[in-house]
Amino acid sequence: MIAPGSDLHACAEIVERGDPERFAGAMAAPVEARRALFPLYAFNVEVARAPWVTAEPMIAEMRLQWWRDALDQIGSGGAVRRHEVVTPLAEVLDAEGAAVLDALVEARRADIEKAPFGEADGLWTYLEATGGGLMAVAARCLGDRDGRAARALGTASGLAAYLRAVPELEARGKLPLADGRPEAVGALAARGLELVSEARAAQSAMPRAARAALMPGVLAEAVLKRVVADPTRVKAGAVMPSEATVRLARLKAGLFGRV
């Protein structure tokens, strides 16, 4: 039971409002796992929206730096600033996890820029640091020291979420894809499916208790398969599978503890 008025309750509310899919994943996890997942996911909500809440790049940079400073405090093991997200995050995060999340914050600086990723692998670097890094840390907090399955699935689900967001990103004036041709978009999704397969192959190395961290990635395969089948769905904002497919994917993951 999460006590109303506690920091953990505040984190859960942040996630429920800002990231419904990860909220659903956390609620499907054992109660004890939520004590790690909700602070992590609330942190991610706050960092992800930092570049978008202001039109001033300098202010966005300052917001991201604030989180990097908080992670530095956690990683160093010293006194940690009092904050409804930072305080419970410090209770579940070790120095290695803090370093991974620091790379996540650094990667989010790309969201401040309107231009697409300049380097050929720029988008993959971003996705591995953000989606991959977050899921890897979530699994680590739940006892996983292998990291391969969480990192691969997190990167793939990050791609699925990014492709879903393309119409909104374009509406905000950003150029999300360096190459928006259907064949290039289809190739991105195909690579994402390879990562899903890699995650599935490595999942046996995870402790069962850590597999709750994979729950937010249950829709990645279905979304990416739809993009491979018809890459024009991305521009049209039509990459989500049917509600029946969504329910079935979540049910199977919940029953069998696998994605």
pLDDT, position 1: 65
- Helix, strand, coil percentages (3-state) for the chain, rounded to 5, are 75, 0, 25
The SS3 assignment for 82 reads: coil
pLDDT, position 256: 47
State how far the Cα of 226 lies from the Cα of 242, in Å rounded to an integer: 11
Q: pLDDT tens string for the chain (259 positions)? A: 687 889 999 999 999 999 999 999 999 899 999 999 999 999 999 999 999 988 899 999 999 999 999 999 999 988 898 999 999 999 999 999 999 999 999 999 999 988 878 776 899 999 999 999 999 999 999 999 999 999 999 999 999 999 999 999 999 989 999 999 999 999 999 999 999 999 999 999 999 999 999 999 999 999 999 999 999 999 999 999 888 877 777 776 665 456 6
State how far the Cα of 15 lies from the Cα of 37, in Å rounded to an integer: 10
DSSP 112-179: G-SSPPSSTTHHHHHHIIIIIHHHHHHHHHTT----HHHHHHHHHHHHHHHHHHHHHHHHTT----S-
Tally Cβ neighbours within 10 Å of residue 167.
16
Q: Rounded to two decimals, what is the model's pTM?
A: 0.93
